């Protein structure tokens, strides 16, 4: 009898020990050794708790993803053994109308007689043809045959961009389809030298991650409008937080040239270098508060020189740090459009050709005057 009682006692103790060990391993409890919870959570779960900025990102991606495409361009070259081998480039692009027109970078589809394949977000594949190119601005327009009405993006206005505003980039970096990255505009009016030694002017700099394969994809504002075309990164390999996009207004100039049947040739030049002044600095210099582009130098024999534009008469030290030529003409408008950005002059001339005229609104001797300049392609500066 005593043996049975002892055996029963041992079984009860063993059961208690095993049950306690199970509880300590998480079998139905969230308590720590000290008796407190291992983690905390909301009393009532109400979804992911998205911020307004996160929801904005989600909404824009939902709208833009289906209009962003993957582009593969294949050209055939001979190697040293005279063997014909395919060479492929890949990038991104985006639909701009329901009929299959796609904007991308020219370097994505460049080469002799490339075979271009476009993959849509539904993974359907389409052959594409090049319909127009602007190598100077690294832009190209390609087209696929419409089998249905395509979703497309809206082109915004890159002339009113501000440093610090939010941007979103969508593309196919390293072949990873439909990748979204976010950031801000880090700077405007950047000039960089591309791999083909062509200088790309007036680019938008962003810290939104741009990697190989992103080229040609859209850079979007917080309303989902395209404000740039992702074009280049600084440094080899991948993103280091310095990427560049071609302003979308340059693409608009190309699209207008295509629609009118014009060819884009070397841009005409005015023959001036300028500095932007506005606000308190403009007032201190005796100029209108809205400011403009203050002429710093005029190239001898240039269209600006021939038309009688005036350069600086003296130099002022601004903030004890840099020199500014003052006393010359202030360009306030180009063909009636305000010259309130560093890129305004370049943009105002981008749709012009040698022999065209441009009307400059100047502030000179305390008043506004209009001056007509006949453009040539001979000057080396704006």
Q: Residue 129's domain is classified under what CATH number?
A: 2.40.10.10
Is 219 found in the same domain as 167? Answer: yes
Whether residue 234 is contained in a domain is answered as: yes
The two tokens of residue 120 are: 């849509």
8 A C-beta contact, residue 376 and residue 299: no
pLDDT range class, residue 146, cuts 50, 70, 90: confident
**103, 173: one domain:** no
pLDDT tens profile 212-262: 778 899 999 999 999 999 998 876 555 566 889 999 999 998 898 888 887
On whether both 106 and 72 belong to a single domain, the answer is: yes
**Which of 144, 167, 200 is the last residue before a domain boundary?**
144
**If 0-12 CB within 10 Å is exposed, 13-18 middle and 19+ buried, where does residue 40 land?**
exposed
**40-55 residue pLDDT tens:** 766 655 556 788 989 9
* Closest-CA residue to 270 (of 335, 365, 226): 335
52: in domain:
no
Q: How far apart are CA 293 and CA 340, in angstroms?
A: 7
Please say which residue of 222, 237, 260 terminates a domain: 260
Residue pair 141/258 in contact by the 8 Å Cβ criterion: yes
Q: Does 194 reside within a domain?
A: yes
What letter would DSSP give residue 37?
B
31 domain residue, yes or no? no
Q: Locate all alpha helices (DSSP H) within 65-208, ordered by sequence.
A: 106-109
The rounded distance, in Å, linking the Cα atoms of 103 and 105 is: 7
What pLDDT is stored for residue 22 in this prediction?
43
Instruction: Show Cβ contacts of residue 15 under 8 Å, excluding neighbours closer than 6 positions.
Output: none
Residues 254 and 176 in one domain: yes
The answer on 280 and 253 residing in a single domain is: no
Residues spanned by the domain of 96? 67-144
* Res 48: pLDDT: 61
295-306 mean pLDDT: 92
Residue 104 lies in a domain: yes
> Using alpha carbons only, what angle is made at residue 204 by residues 202 and 207, rounded to the nearest 5 degrees?
150
Reference 190, options 198, 199, 182; nearest CA is: 199
Do 278 and 255 belong together in one domain?
no
| 60-114 pLDDT per residue, tens | 999 999 999 999 888 766 666 666 666 777 889 999 999 999 999 998 988 776 8
The predicted pLDDT at position 136 comes to 84
Number of domains in the chain: 3
The answer to which of 69-83, 177-191, 241-255, 327-341 has the lowest mean pLDDT is 69-83
SS3 117: strand
Same domain, 88 and 162: no
Catalytic positions are 107, 138, 215
202 and 130 in a single domain? The answer is: no
CA-based angle 337:322:304, to the nearest 5? 40
pLDDT for residue 330: 96
Whichever domain contains 287, its CATH number is: 2.30.42.10
Amino acid 32: pLDDT: 52
Asked if residue 249 and residue 163 are part of one domain, the reply reads yes
166 with 250, same domain: the answer is yes
Q: Average of pLDDT values for 323-330?
A: 93
Question: For the whole model, what pTM was predicted?
Answer: 0.64
End position of a domain, from candidates 226, 260, 294: 260
């Amino acid at each position: 009898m005593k043996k049975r009682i002892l055996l029963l006692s041992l079984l009860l103790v063993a059961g208690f020990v095993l049950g306690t060990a199970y509880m300590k391993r998480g079998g139905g409890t969230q308590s720590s050794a000290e008796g407190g919870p291992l983690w905390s959570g909301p009393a009532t779960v109400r979804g992911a708790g998205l911020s307004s900025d996160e929801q904005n990102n989600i909404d824009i991606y939902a709208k833009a993803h289906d209009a962003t495409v993957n582009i593969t361009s294949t050209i055939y070259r001979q190697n040293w053994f005279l063997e014909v081998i395919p060479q492929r480039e890949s990038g991104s692009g985006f639909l701009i109308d329901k009929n299959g027109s796609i904007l991308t970078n020219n370097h994505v589809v460049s080469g002799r007689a490339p075979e271009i394949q476009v993959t849509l977000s539904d993974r359907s594949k389409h052959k594409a043809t090049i319909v127009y190119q602007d190598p100077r601005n690294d832009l190209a327009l390609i087209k696929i045959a419409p089998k249905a009405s395509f979703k497309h993006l809206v082109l915004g206005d890159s002339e009113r961009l501000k440093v610090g505003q939010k941007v979103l980039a969508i593309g196919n970096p390293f072949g990873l389809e439909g990748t979204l990255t976010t950031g801000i505009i880090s700077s405007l009016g950047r000039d960089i030298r591309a791999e083909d030694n062509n200088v790309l002017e007036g680019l938008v700099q962003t810290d939104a991650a741009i990697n190989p394969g992103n080229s040609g994809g859209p850079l979007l504002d917080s309303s989902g409008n395209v404000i740039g075309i992702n074009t280049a990164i600084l440094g080899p390999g991948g993103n280091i937080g310095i990427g560049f996009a071609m302003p979308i207004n340059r693409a608009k100039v190309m699209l207008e040239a295509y629609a009118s049947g014009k060819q884009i040739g070397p841009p005409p030049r005015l023959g001036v270098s300028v500095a932007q002044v506005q606000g308190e600095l403009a007032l201190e210099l005796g100029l209108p508060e809205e400011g403009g582009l203050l002429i710093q130098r005029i190239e001898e024999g240039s269209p600006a020189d021939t038309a009688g534009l005036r350069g600086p008469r003296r130099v002022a030290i601004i903030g004890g740090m840099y020199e500014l030529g003052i006393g010359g003409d202030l360009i306030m408008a180009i063909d009636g459009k305000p010259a309130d950005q560093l890129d305004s002059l370049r943009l105002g001339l981008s749709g012009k050709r040698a022999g065209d005229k441009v009307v400059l609104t100047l502030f000179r001797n305390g008043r506004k005057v209009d001056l007509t300049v006949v453009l040539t392609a001979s000057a080396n500066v704006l």
